Structure 1
Amino acid sequence: MVEYNGAYDERDCAAFLDEAVVPMRVSTHRPDGSPWIVTLWYRYRDGVFECATRADAAIVDFLDRDDRVGIDVSTNTIPYRGVRGTGTVTIDPDEELEVLGALVDRYLGDRDHPLAQTLLDEDREEVCLRIDPDELFSWDYSERMEAA
C-alpha cells in the first residue's frame, strides 16, 4: 500500500505523473555503497513506474544487488511541481521492446525520429525496470509562484 503525502492525493498524483513528460531521476547504490543517480524515461500505470534501459547498463547490476530506490519526477520550469519517493524495483526482459516502444511514443511522439530508430533497433537487449512505490511525496508551488 502506497503512502501519499504532500500536495496531491492518489488521483492527483497519478494525473501529474501522466501529464508530466519529463525524465524520472532514480537513485540507487553502487556496490561500494556510494550513491548513484540515473535519469530515465518512465510511464506510470496502475500505480507502478515503468522504465526501460539496456540490459547491460550499470544500474541493472546495481539494482540486482539492492532493489531499493529513491525517485524524483519534477518539473524544471516555474511553477515547480513534482513527486518524489521510495520504492523497490523488479527487473524483467523487454524482449519485444514493448515498454521501450511506449516510452518512445510518450517522449518522442514519432517512431520515425532518428533517436527512436536507434533505440528500437531489434538487436537491442532491453529490460523493464518496474518500480513499485512505497511512499510518494508531492509538491506544487503553483499558487506561490503564480506571479513568476
Structure 2
Amino acid sequence: MKVIRSIPGMPNKVTEDEVNDFLLQSKLNLQLATVDEDGYPSIQPLWFLYVKEPGKIYVATPKTTRKALNLYKNPDKVYFSIDDENFPYKGAKGRGIARISENADWNIPIVEKIILKYLGTKDNPLAQTIMENTRKGIQIIIEITPKFFSAWDFGKSMQ
C-alpha cells in the first residue's frame, strides 16, 4: 500500500498500519467520486468494506444508479475519501480503478459483511431489502483497487 502525506510538512506521518486500522474500524461513509457523461465529477456517499489482503475497498449499489452507470463507462477514474469530521480530524483518500461484479453468488457474502458492519444485524428491514436485491441481481458490488492512499491525522500532529 502506498501512503502519502495529505498535508505536506505535517509532523508524524500516518503509517500504512494506521491507514489499515482506520479503514478496517471505520463506520464512516466512503465518498465515491466518478466521472459523468459530461466529464463532471459525481460524488456519492456509500457504506464500504475494506479488506486488508488484497487491499481492496468494496461498496454495493443498485446497478442503475448514476455512480454505477458512470463506472460502466469509465472504471479507470475513481476517487474516494473516508474522513472523520470530528476533531481531531483524520481520514484517508485516494485514486483507484473500479471493477463491477454482477455475480450474485460472489456479491452476497460481501453485501452481508457490509450490512453487519453498519447495521449489526441481517434482520433489519433495510438489510433484508438490500440482500433480496443482491440475490435478484439488482444490487452490484464495486471493487476498488486503490493506486494510493493520502492520509491525515491531526491527533498525531498534536503529540
Task: Provide TM-score, normalisation by structure 2.
Answer: 0.84
Q: Which has the higher strand share?
A: 1
| Aligned partner of residue 104 in structure 2, secondary structure | coil
Secondary structure, aligned partner of 1:104: helix
Aligned to 2:140: 127
Deviation >3 Å, runs of 4+: 143-146
Instruction: Give the length in aligned residue pairs.
Output: 145
CA offsets per residue over residues 95-132 of structure 1, 9 Å max, x none? 03221111000100011112112211243522111100
Structure 2 residues without counterparts, runs of 5 or longer? 6-12
Q: Which residue of 1 aligns with 2:57?
A: 49
1:74 aligns with 2:73: no
Give me the identity figure in percent: 25
CA contact (8 A) 1:88 1:134 kept: yes
Structure 1 distance, partners of 2:30, 2:63, is 18
Specify the alignment match of 1:59 in structure 2. 67
Contact between 1:78 and 1:145, CA under 8 Å: does it hold in 2?
no
Higher helix residue share: 2
RMSD: 1.7
- The match for 1:4 is 3
The answer to whether 1:101 aligns with 2:100 is no
Specify the alignment match of 2:10 in structure 1.
none
Letter of the aligned partner of 1:107 in structure 2?
Y
Moved more, 42-51 or 118-127: 118-127
Is the Cα contact below 8 Å between 1:22 and 1:73 reproduced in 2? yes
CA contact (8 A) 1:84 1:138 kept: yes
Give the structure-1-normalised TM-score.
Answer: 0.89
Partner of 1:114: 125
Q: SS in structure 2 opposite 1:60? A: helix
